[in-house]
Chains A and B, each alone.
Chain A
Amino acid sequence: KAGVTQTPRYLIKTRGQQVTLSCSPISGHRSVSWYQQTPGQGLQFLFEYFSETQRNKGNFPGRFSGRQFSNSRSEMNVSTLELGDSALYLCASSIDPPGQGHNEQFFGPGTRLTVL
């Protein structure tokens, strides 16, 4: 069974641009979460989706948005990029609805975003 896939793996943008990152969960998984990883702040929760609905959102500005499609694939978008948005963006999927089951999440390899 294929794992969580994220595209692209690496991305370089300039300040002010926008970017869209994609995540395909493990087949059959309907919950998708996004995290930002930086050396200074560590791993921080961005959003969580289940059945195309955002179930939970972290403390990030409105420039960060996301969505989930009917096939459970998810995208996140960052508009008006800032230097501080440079990070590894990780996607995780789970088979259970949020908060149920054993809460086991499977992470993808991440997308490394560099903002110049």
Chain B
Amino acid sequence: GNSVTQMEGPVTLSEEAFLTINCTYTATGYPSLFWYVQYPGEGLQLLLKATKADDKGSNKGFEATYRKETTSFHLEKGSVQVSDSAVYFCALTTTYSGAGSYQLTFGKGTKLSVIP
């Protein structure tokens, strides 16, 4: 079956620090990979995505590269801001012949706190 493992939090960084949140996966078929962000009291927002190997997803200064050889999709940002404080989820879907589905498999989430 599918699974996603991401680094345990919480992670506390000072403003302008470099961020890395590790994510590895196991999947059947050909996964698409996602990072979602959840701000306090809100639902999930798609942060970035990559649909095939070596694709790089990017948004709002965040980046992640789909690495098939290491089955990883680590999230990075060069300089975090207080407004980046949230919970980040790595997720995947797989699409294979005759079984189209949007079912997302999520990691446990990593809480990021950025202090001024």
Contacts and interface: CB of A to CB of B under 8 A. Distances in A.
Question: Do A and B truly interact?
Answer: yes
B49 A98 contact: no
- Chain B, interface size category, equals 20 to 34
Interface in B26-82: 32, 36, 41-46, 49, 51
Interface in B86-111: 89, 91, 93, 95, 99-109
Given A48-B101, A90-B44, A103 B108 contact: no
Interface of B: 32, 36, 41-46, 49, 51, 89, 91, 93, 95, 99-109
A90 B43 contact: yes
B43 A102 contact: no
B58 to A, nearest CB: 15
B39 to A, nearest CB: 10
Contact of A48 (B44, B102, B107, B109): B102
Contacts of A102: 32, 49, 51
Contacts of B93: 99, 103
Interface residues of A, number: 27
Interface stretch (A14-22, A60-68, A72-80, A106-114): A106-114
A87 B45 CA distance: 19
15 contacts: A31-B102, A35-B104, A42-B106, A42-B109, A45-B103, A48-B102, A92-B44, A92-B102, A92-B104, A100-B95, A102-B32, A102-B51, A104-B46, A105-B46, A109-B43
A94 interface: yes
Contacts of A31: 102
Given A42-B108, A58-B103, A106 B89 contact: no
A55 B104 CA distance: 14
Given A45-B104, A56-B101, A98-B102, A104 B49 contact: yes
A99 B101 CA distance: 4
